[in-house]
Structure 1
Amino acid sequence: MTQATPQDAPTVLLVDDEVALADSLALWLERRYDVRVAYSGRDALQEFDDDIDIVFLDRNLPGLSGESVLEELHRQADADDFAVVMLSATPDSELSDLPVDDALTKPVTKTQIFDAVARFVGDAPEVTVD
């Protein structure tokens, strides 16, 4: 059985240097959404374009930090055109000062990820093709 995302499915960009985590999140989401994965801040900026509807962004990326990526994303596009959910390993009151739509503390659950996507871009139906 081959999986396919629905036509016009929202596009999710997952940005995390923890490859296993990013790949797991992608596996969860790819049946309902168009998913792109970046393992660094620089990769995230290369993957980002007008098609992105929501970005899950690790705060503590090596090299180009999640906060720096966030600033650049907002320079590249209107912040109203996409949502950003910051991922952080520790609960941090400073996250409330960042221009993000939500923040999740790692480890994240499948329910938290799907709830965030549904809250900001709507829920896409699950589609499979034989």
Structure 2
Amino acid sequence: MTDRPTVLVVEDERDLADLYQSWLSADYDVRVANTGEDALAAINETVDVALVDRRLPEMDGDELLAALQDSNPSLRVALVSGMEPDFDIIDLGFDAYVVKPVSRTELHNVVCRLLARAVYSDEIREFFALASKRAALEAEKTEAELENSDAYHDLVDRIRARRAELDDLLSQLTTDDFAAVFRELSDEVRT
């Protein structure tokens, strides 16, 4: 059993699929599928990231996206396409769009970003849950009770550790990630 993340490369051009696999295999467990059917056979909950060609024989990447998300809802997906993105991508379920040709560095970067994003919601949710518990305790208990409680001190330590992890995650965000978050927040404020 391995602790390395698993990447599924879905690419009908076998030479390109092999190239992507060779670029990524030093850091990730890489599975390759050359058709949508192969991708659906290869997907399970152990796959962390899928790199999906938008133009596939028999089943296009758009159809495959929905099927992959049904098979593994926590999956992070990058469309890797020779097609420039158009407005039709707005309703598609993916996390990143990469236009071919793609470099080794760009491919590694997109996988790293998607892996980092995969933990944001769970990590942030846990942090706020812990902080809420702390606030509730501090509102109800005296300072002496808090000071004498090992459970409270463990909670504070967990919050500090989670905060440090979140600070580390934030330091990994790119300018594009921040811009996307602020656009989304601005849109929510307007609605």
Pairwise same-fold verdict (TM > 0.5): yes
Which has the greater radius of gyration? 2
Q: Which stretches of structure 1, 4 residues or more, deviate above 6 A after TM superposition?
A: none
Q: Which residue, out of 12, 22, 28, partners 1:27? A: 22
Q: Which residue, out of 92, 98, 117, partners 2:92? A: 98
Task: Give per-residue Cα distances to partners, 1:76-98, cap 9 Å, x unaligned.
Answer: 222xx110000111212122331
- After superposition, residues 23-62 of structure 1 pair within 5 angstroms as 23-62=18-57
Task: Give per-residue Cα distances to partners, 1:56-82, cap 9 Å, x unaligned.
Answer: 00000010111111111122222xx11
* In 2, Cα distance between equivalents of 1:104 and 1:96: 14
Q: Which residue, out of 59, 65, 79, partners 1:86? A: 79
TM-score (norm 2): 0.58
Task: Give per-residue Cα distances to partners, 1:4-55, cap 9 Å, x unaligned.
Answer: xx94000000000011111000001111100000000000000000100000
Point out where structure 1 has 5 or more consecutive residues left out of the alignment. Answer: 1-5, 123-130
More helix by share: 2
User: Alignment length, in residue pairs?
Assistant: 115
- What's the Cα RMSD here? 1.4
Select the structure with the greater relative contact order (CA < 8 A; seq sep ≥ 6): 1
* In 2, Cα distance between equivalents of 1:55 and 1:109: 17
Point out where structure 2 has 5 or more consecutive residues left out of the alignment. Answer: 117-191
TM-score (norm 1): 0.83
Name the counterpart of 1:118: 112
Instruction: Give % identity.
Output: 37
Name the counterpart of 1:126: none
Letter in 1 for 2:39: A
SS at match of 1:46: helix
